[in-house]
Structure 1
C-alpha cells in the first residue's frame, strides 16, 4: 500500500476533473499526478529512494500536493514543516528527521520562508538538496546557485512506476511538541493515513460532486488528512486559500458553491464577525452541507450563532497528530452534542482512565486513551518518548476527558500545559527557553489565558535580572524575532517573583 494511491486512482477515473483550484488556476487530477511523477523521477536522480526523508515547507498552493505525492511515489517519507518556522527551528527539524532534501516555498516580504529555510538548511550536514518553490514554475531562483522546483521537474518524464511500500511503512513524520524538550516526530504509516482519509469521507458525507474549501494549513495533519487526502480519495474538488480572511472565505464560498468547510474555532468566530454585506449569505448557506471544527473547543455560542446564520450544523471532533489525526467525532449517524467531541470513529477504541490505567465510569474525569488503526508507530528516533506515550497498544493522550452515559466524550482539561492559540498548538516550555536567552530575563513562566478571538492567548510572566530595565513591547518584539510568529507571547506581565512550591516548582495555576 502506498498513500499515493489516493491521487492515482482519481487521476485514472477522473483525469480531466478539477482536483485543485487556486485563484484563477484549475489543475486536474491528471495534471497533479503527472507533476508528482516528474518530481518522483527527479528525486530518484538525486539518489533519494524508499525510506529517505524529504522535508516540505509550503503554503496552501497546488505545489503542496504535487511535492507531497511526488515524495510518496518515490517511496520516501514526507516531513511537513510549519511555514512559520524560523531558521533555528528549521535546522532542528532537518537535523532530527535526517532529511536528505528540502523543498521550501519562496514566501513573501512579510514571510520570507525560503530565506529562513535556506539559512536552516545551510547549518545541517545530512540534508544535501535544497529546492526553492517559486510562485511561477518558470521563475528564476531568488538565490544564486540555488535550484528551483521548476529546475528539478524540467524535462522529467510524467510517467512513473510508484514504489511499492508496505502498509506499515512510514509515510509521514509530523512534528508535535511536548511540555518538555524539543518537538517530536510522530511516524505515521501509509495504512494510518489511508484509513483516516477513508473514515473522514464518512464524517464529512463527502461525495465526488462536492467542493471543499481548504484554508486550514496543509502542513497540519487536520487539513492534510481530513480535507486534502479525503477529497482526493473520492475525487472531489478542493479550493485552496493560503491564509484565513473572513471576507475571502465568504467570497470563495459564494464563487465556487462550496459544500464542505473545516476550520478551527477562531475561523468560525471570524466568519461571524466579517462584513457580509457584499455576499449572498442565503446562497452560501444553501450550498454548505457539512462544516466541521477541531483543534480546540468551539464555544457553544459561536456554534449556535453560526448554525443559525448559515443553516448548517457544525460537527466537532478530537484528534492528535499521533492519531493520524481523527480519534472521535460528532457524526451525522449518531447525532451531536454541543461542547462534545463526539464518539469514537470507526475502528477506534477510546477509554477514560485513572492514573493507574483503570477505566473510569461515565462522568468521571480521567486521561483519554485510545487504540486502533490510527495510532502512530512511535516517535522517530525517540524510544523514551514513545514508551511514555504508547503502553500495551494504547496511546495516552495527556488530555483529561469525561464520557457521558450516551458514550459522548468531552475534553475538560489538559494534563499537558499546551496552549491552543487559533487552533495551533503552542508549548510553553519552548517559549520559556527562548525568552530566557534574553540578557534581562531571569525567569519566565508562559501560560494560556482565555481570549474570545484566539481561544487562548499566550501570556508570559517575567522576572527581570537585577539592574535591568525592559518594557513589554521591546520584549515582545525581541521574542517574535526568535520564534515562529504564532508562538510569541502577546501579553507580558513583569513580576517580582513567580509563585513556587516547596520543591521549587513554579505554580502556574496561581498565575492568570
Structure 2
C-alpha cells in the first residue's frame, strides 16, 4: 500500500468525518475534502512539470501545507524534500541543490533566497504573493480524480536530511513502506480508533511528525496541527483541540512536569502520549501528575520506529520490543551478538521499511551497514523478555530540543574564525533532561578572543538551534595518544578549569 492508497482507504471508511483540525478555527477539513484537495494539488504540481521520481523542495513551518504536500507527492510518485526553516540560506541552498529539486515551495523570503537552483523549473509561494511564483492556494483546487500514475509501495516518497558525525547532512531516501507499515503498527500499539484526535506539534519536516500524521490516517483518526510546542499553552491547546493522543520528545515532558500547575492539566481528554527519550523517573512523574499514559519507543529517520512498548504491554524503563517489521540485535564492535543483558550497539536488519539509501552517497550508505545490519550508533541492551533499554549514544551526535546536531559542523564554523586556533564541541545535560551545547575554544596566539565575537560569528553562519549555549575559552585542549582532541575527558569533566559563560539564545 502506498501513502496515497492509505489515505483513500481511510476516506472509504471515514468519508465526511473530520480529519484536519486547526486549533482556534471553527472549520475542519473532512477526510473526503482533504483527499480531493490532495488530488488537486497533485494535478497542479504535475502541471508545473513534476514527474515521477523528481523532487519538490519545501521550506515551511508546521502547518497544513506540509500535510497536503506529503500526500500529494505520494500520489504523484514524486519525492518530498522538506527542510527546517531555521537553517541558514547557505545550508538550505546546499541541500536543495543536492536533492535536485525541480519545484521550490515557501514564502517570499525563501523563494527570493533560492532563485538559482540548477534544476529549478517553478516556484510556489505560500502567503504573500510574489511575481513569477504560483500561489499555493491556486493549486489546492479539489478534484475527484486521483492522478492516473503507477506508484509502487517501494518507490521513494520523501528525502529527509539528518546530521552525520562528519557534520555534513545525509539524505535518507524513504519509500511509502517506510511510513505505511509502521503506521498500521502504531494503531495497534496505541489502540487508535476513529474517535481519537491526534495533536501534532512535532515538525512535519522530520520523520516523527510525518509518521505521526500517517498513523492518524491509518487509524481513521483526526489530527490537530500546532505550529510548535509550547509548555505554557500546552494544556490549553489540548483542551481546545479535544486531543486524545500526543507525540512527545523527552524534553517536552520535562518542561511540562517542571511547569507551574495549570487549571486544565487534569481537565482534558488526553489518554496516551507516545515518544522517546524520557527517563523512567520523568515518565512516572508525568503519569502521576497529569493522569496520562506514556508509551516509550525508539527509532531513527533511517528506520522509523524500531522498538516500542504498547498501551497493553510495556515495561518500565524500557524502549520496548522490536516492531513486527524489524529484526533487532545487540552486537559488539566485531558484529557479534552479545549475551542477554550485555551492553552493545543496537543494530537493525535491513528491510523494506528502512531507508533505501543515503541519497547520492553510496560509500556512506555502505559504511552504515555491516553484513546487512544497520549500525545505529546507539548503545543498549536487551533483557530475557525481549525488552530493550537505551544506554547512551555511541556516535558523536548532540540531540538538542529534538534536533540531531553534529559537533563537527559547529567546530568547522568556529575554526574558520580568524582568532580561533582550535575548537571542540560537546553535548552537556540541560535542565530539562535533554542535551545542550558547549564549545571549548583555543584562541590564536596573541588574540583577544571574546565570547561575544564568537556568538556573533556563529549566528552569522549557523542555524539558531546549533549555536552553543555554554562557552569556555581555554589555553589548551586535552589530546589523545593520536593527538586528537580528547572529547571523552571533556564530557567527563565538562570544564577545563576556566570560566564557563552561559549565553541567552533565541527561542527555537
User: Do the structures match in fold with TM over 0.5?
Assistant: yes
Q: Which residue of 1 aligns with 2:5?
A: 5
Q: C-alpha offsets along residues 212-235 of structure 1, whole Å, 9 cap, x if unaligned?
A: 11111111101211x200101222
Q: C-alpha offsets along residues 37-87 of structure 1, whole Å, 9 cap, x if unaligned?
A: 122111111221111111222222111111221122111111121221111
Q: Which residue of 2 aligns with 1:374?
A: 353
Q: Which residue of 2 aligns with 1:22?
A: 22
Q: Which residue of 1 aligns with 2:248?
A: 263
Q: Give, in angstroms, the shift of residue 162 of structure 1.
A: 4.9
Q: Which residue of 2 aligns with 1:464?
A: 443
The answer to whether residue 340 in structure 2 is matched with residue 362 in structure 1 is yes
Structure 2 unmatched runs, 5+: 495-508
Answer yes or no: is the 8 Å Cα contact 1:205–1:290 preserved in 2. Answer: no
Aligned CA distance change for structure 1 residues 385 and 500 (closer, same or farther; 3 Å): same
Structure 1 unmatched runs, 5+: 107-113, 135-139
Q: Which of 135, 143, 154 is residue 148 of structure 1 equivalent to?
A: 135
Q: CA RMSD in A?
A: 1.9
Q: Distance in 1 between matches of 2:469 and 2:203?
A: 22
Q: Which of 160, 163, 180 is residue 177 of structure 1 equivalent to?
A: 163
Q: Distance in 2 between matches of 1:381 and 1:124?
A: 17
Q: Which residue of 2 aligns with 1:404?
A: 383
Answer yes or no: is the 8 Å Cα contact 2:297–2:320 preserved in 1. Answer: yes
Q: Give, in angstroms, the shift of residue 183 of structure 1.
A: 0.8
Alignment of 1:88-107 (within 5 A): 88-104=90-106, 106=107
Aligned CA distance change for structure 1 residues 299 and 510 (closer, same or farther; 3 Å): same
Q: Which residue of 2 aligns with 1:122?
A: 115
Q: Distance in 2 between matches of 1:435 and 1:117?
A: 29
More deviation in 255-264 or 7-16? 7-16
Q: Distance in 2 between matches of 1:332 and 1:394?
A: 29
Number of equivalent positions: 488
Q: Which residue of 1 aligns with 2:267?
A: 283
Answer yes or no: is the 8 Å Cα contact 2:422–2:443 preserved in 1. Answer: yes
Q: Secondary structure at the match of 2:233?
A: helix
Q: Give, in angstroms, the shift of residue 334 of structure 1.
A: 3.0
Alignment of 1:325-340 (within 5 A): 325-338=304-317, 340=318
Q: Distance in 2 between matches of 1:276 and 1:8?
A: 43
The answer to whether residue 437 in structure 2 is matched with residue 453 in structure 1 is no
Q: Give, in angstroms, the shift of residue 248 of structure 1.
A: 2.0
Answer yes or no: is the 8 Å Cα contact 2:43–2:147 preserved in 1. Answer: no
Q: Distance in 2 between matches of 1:429 and 1:440?
A: 18
Answer yes or no: is the 8 Å Cα contact 2:60–2:85 preserved in 1. Answer: yes
Answer yes or no: is the 8 Å Cα contact 1:320–1:326 preserved in 2. Answer: yes
TM-score (norm 2): 0.92
Q: Give, in angstroms, the shift of residue 472 of structure 1.
A: 1.6
Q: Give, in angstroms, the shift of residue 280 of structure 1.
A: 2.9
Answer yes or no: is the 8 Å Cα contact 1:90–1:117 preserved in 2. Answer: no
Q: Which residue of 1 aligns with 2:213?
A: 228
TM-score (norm 1): 0.91
Q: Which residue of 1 aligns with 2:175?
A: 189
Q: Distance in 2 between matches of 1:502 and 1:272?
A: 44
Q: Which residue of 2 aligns with 1:137?
A: none
Alignment of 1:238-257 (within 5 A): 238-257=223-242
Q: Distance in 2 between matches of 1:162 and 1:18?
A: 27
Q: Distance in 1 between matches of 2:121 and 2:413?
A: 28
Q: Distance in 1 between matches of 2:104 and 2:199?
A: 27
Q: C-alpha offsets along residues 457-503 of structure 1, whole Å, 9 cap, x if unaligned?
A: 10111111223223223322331232222111111111111111232
Q: Give, in angstroms, the shift of residue 19 of structure 1.
A: 0.9
Q: Distance in 2 between matches of 1:473 and 1:431?
A: 16
Q: Which of 212, 215, 220 is residue 201 of structure 2 equivalent to?
A: 215
Q: Distance in 2 between matches of 1:355 and 1:89?
A: 33
The answer to whether residue 287 in structure 2 is matched with residue 307 in structure 1 is yes
Q: Distance in 1 between matches of 2:332 and 2:111?
A: 43
Q: Which residue of 2 aligns with 1:110?
A: none
Alignment of 1:38-187 (within 5 A): 38-104=40-106, 106=107, 114-116=108-110, 118-119=112-113, 121-134=114-127, 140-141=128-129, 143-153=130-140, 157=143, 159-187=145-173
Q: Give, in angstroms, the shift of residue 274 of structure 1.
A: 3.2
Q: C-alpha offsets along residues 276-330 of structure 1, whole Å, 9 cap, x if unaligned?
A: 44x333322xx22211122xx312332111110122221111100110x100012
Q: Distance in 2 between matches of 1:224 and 1:384?
A: 28
Q: Give, in angstroms, the shift of residue 167 of structure 1.
A: 2.1
Q: Which residue of 1 aligns with 2:323?
A: 345
Q: C-alpha offsets along residues 320-344 of structure 1, whole Å, 9 cap, x if unaligned?
A: 0110x10001223432222x21111
Q: Give, in angstroms, the shift of residue 157 of structure 1.
A: 4.7
Aligned CA distance change for structure 1 residues 282 and 157 (closer, same or farther; 3 Å): closer
Aligned CA distance change for structure 1 residues 117 and 451 (closer, same or farther; 3 Å): farther
Answer yes or no: is the 8 Å Cα contact 1:375–1:395 preserved in 2. Answer: no
Q: Distance in 2 between matches of 1:12 and 1:332?
A: 27
